[in-house]
Structure formats: structure tokens, C-alpha cells
Amino acid sequence: MSEVFTFSVSATDGNARCGQISMPRGVIRTPAFMPVGTAGTVKAMYLDQVREAGADVILGNTYHLMLRPGAERIARLGGLHEFARWPHPILTDSGGFQVMSLAALRKITEEGVTFQSHIDGSKHVLTPERSIEIQGLLDSDIQMQLDECVKLPCTDAVAEKAMHLSLRWAERCKVAFGNQPGKAMFGIVQGGAVERLRVESARELVDLDLKGYAVGGLAVGEPQDVMLQMIDIVAPNLPQSKPRYLMGVGTPDDIVESVRRGIDMFDCVMPTRAGRHGLAYTRFGRINLRNARHADDPRPLDEASSCEASSKYSRAYLHHLVRSNEILGMMLLTWNNIAYYQYLMAGLRQAITDGRLDDFIAETKAGWAEGEQSKS
């Protein structure tokens, strides 16, 4: 732990980095996957389980928490760490992505975003200053700037307008954040799928000398090769000495390919959402427990896993729970998925340290492919 926010790289393999972020509430080992705790909960999981699975940090969401139960209320109750019983680092999203997804309910101006609550239709205004204020009330350790995130594909003009607005908002967020010892504010690189815009955004944000930098506006409808191309363009324009966060990504394959390109941090709802819909992520690829072929299968998902959800329950039982729409099935599969994602991150960190990242990725993908072939 550290009384100030620091980032250090302990090993590299090509463009990939292994390191750690240190701050008063703990250490985040990188590359890191942050389970999404949108409303102060990682869905279908106890946070003790999330920690035991290997997570160093979770993500909370400004948009959802400001609407319910309210940032001021959480502050009165001791902040999000105390409220949710998670004493470790928390990163909060600014709310920009959620506002984008509610396009029919919002209006964007230079000042900020005016939108209607999806819960009760009430009107709210989210400015850069208010976003940082809310994140401060939540007492999050890493706070994100408010940005405008556009859906892809979009025109160059739309991407450019949103990118420049996001840069102006980043400056306002930096002023609003001020000096908070032990905490950090990250900027968000925007620019759609346009190389010159991504480079301009990255360079302008670097000039603000922030504690870390995120790549936003990806995993919003574009194919994987476009996402990876944008990472290849952006990463060389970001400082080696600061963490890089790819927002909202993704599948295990997205993660390993992005780590290869120098990304340090990830978040995505995929492992929890998949668990609630009967899908398990494993060393053998994805397993759909709704499939009737599992009805008589006594094998666990992965007998070698240290996660009890993966190694102690038969596929037949999990299939039964899923087909019966039992809550326990959602809980066990989500637990398995979070554990697998953390297992994957630990493997990536060790592979980078050992200088064998390419071999590790090849072996991991071969395991996924072998599992897929066994289904046919």
C-alpha cells in the first residue's frame, strides 16, 4: 500500500506490462480485470467471494448511484466502501457511457448533459463538475472524467465533435478534482475509429498530466480488429509511466489481445451477465449450460479450478438450475466466471514476468479451441 497514488512496471514482454498501482486502500496488480459493481454490488456475488476470486478493485457507476440511492445518502453512510463492505480500491465510471445509451432521454450541451432518469423520469443535469463531485461523495479511489461516448460506426464529424467536447470536459474535471492525496482522476481518449482524432485526443490529455489514461468509445459495436487497431494507434501516444485502461472490454480474447498491446486495466459486465444467462467461461472456452447435452454430465466445469463453483458442482446440476431458472444457478455461474477472469489475469501477469506471453496466449487459445471442437 502507499499513501499516494503510484504506478510501477515490474516486467515487460513486447508491449505488454506487468506492474502494480499502489494507493492507500490497497494494491492493484496489473494487468487487472475489474468486476463491475454498477449499483454497489457485483450482481449475484458476495463481495467477499469477489475478493477471494482474486479481484483487487471493483467498478461502481456514477449514473446509477446518483439516481439510487443517491450520492449524498451514500456519503452520509460512510461512502461506497463502507456502504458495500468493500474496503479495497474502487474505480467509478463518470456516467458518460450510460448517458450515451439513453440517447432518447438526454440532451448534450457545452455545460453538460441533461437527462431523464430511466427509473422515474425525473430530470437531472450531469456536468463535469457534478460528475467529479458525485465520485467524491462516493469516496472512490480512481475517478473518471465525464466524456461524450459515441456509438460506432459514426461519421468523422460526429467523432471529432465529441472528442473535442470530451477534451474540454477533461480540463474542467481536472480543476474540479483538484488535489486529492492518494486518489487519481483518469482522462478518456475518444475519437471514434479515426486515427488522427485518437492521436490528437491522447496527446491533448497527456498535456493535462493526469494520473492515468483510459481508451473509451470502443466495444460499442465495432469489430474486434477495429478496436485493436485503435489500441495500436493510441498506446504509443500514452506515457509508459502511467496506467492504461480499456473501458468496457471484454471477452477473454479481447483482453489477451489488448494486454499484448500494452493495456493494464479492464472492466466489463460480460462475466456477470453471462452467468445470469447460463453461460460459463472456462479454460475450455464458453459452455452453454442451457444445452441439453449437459443434462447427464457428472463432470464439473473445471475440476482443476480453485473456485468451488467451478470444481464442486456437476454440469448436470448446473444445467438443472439454469433450466429451472433457479437463482443459485446464476450465482454459481457468475462465481465461476469472475474466478476464471481473475485466473486469466494472473496467468497473463505471470507470463509477462516470465517473458513467455506469446506462448501463454497461444496455449490459452488452443484450450478454448479444443473445448469448442469437443462440442461438435
b (16+ CB within 10 A) / e for 159-178: bbebbbbbbebbbbbbebbe
Asked whether residue 95 is marked as a ligand-binding residue, the answer is: yes
Element (H, E) at 192: none
Given a contact cutoff of 8 angstroms between Cβ atoms, the answer to whether 261 and 232 are in contact is yes
Asked whether residue 296 is marked as a ligand-binding residue, the answer is: no
Q: Exactly one of 13, 139, 254, 267 is catalytic; which is it?
A: 267
Asked whether residue 97 is marked as a ligand-binding residue, the answer is: yes
Asked whether residue 367 is marked as a ligand-binding residue, the answer is: no
Asked whether residue 297 is marked as a ligand-binding residue, the answer is: no
DSSP state for residue 45 in the 8-state scheme: S
Q: Does residue 254 have an active-site annotation?
A: no
Rounded Cα distance, 254 and 347, in Å: 15
Residue 58, phi then psi, degrees to nearest 5: -125, 165
Grid cell digits, residue 114 = 441533461
Residue 13's DSSP bridge partners are 16
Asked whether residue 216 is marked as a ligand-binding residue, the answer is: no
Rounded Cα distance, 201 and 208, in Å: 11
Residue 48's DSSP bridge partners are none
Asked whether residue 96 is marked as a ligand-binding residue, the answer is: yes
In 54-204, which ranges are E strands? 58-61, 90-93, 106-108, 113-116, 123-126, 142-144, 184-189
Q: Exactly one of 13, 93, 139, 264 is catalytic; which is it?
A: 93
Q: Does residue 267 have an active-site annotation?
A: yes
In the chain, which ranges are E strands? 6-13, 16-23, 26-30, 32-35, 58-61, 90-93, 106-108, 113-116, 123-126, 142-144, 184-189, 212-215, 244-246, 265-268, 279-282, 285-288
Asked whether residue 217 is marked as a ligand-binding residue, the answer is: yes
In the annotated binding site, the residues are 93-97, 147, 190, 217
In the annotated binding site for substrate, the residues are 93-97, 147, 190, 217
Active site residues: 93, 267
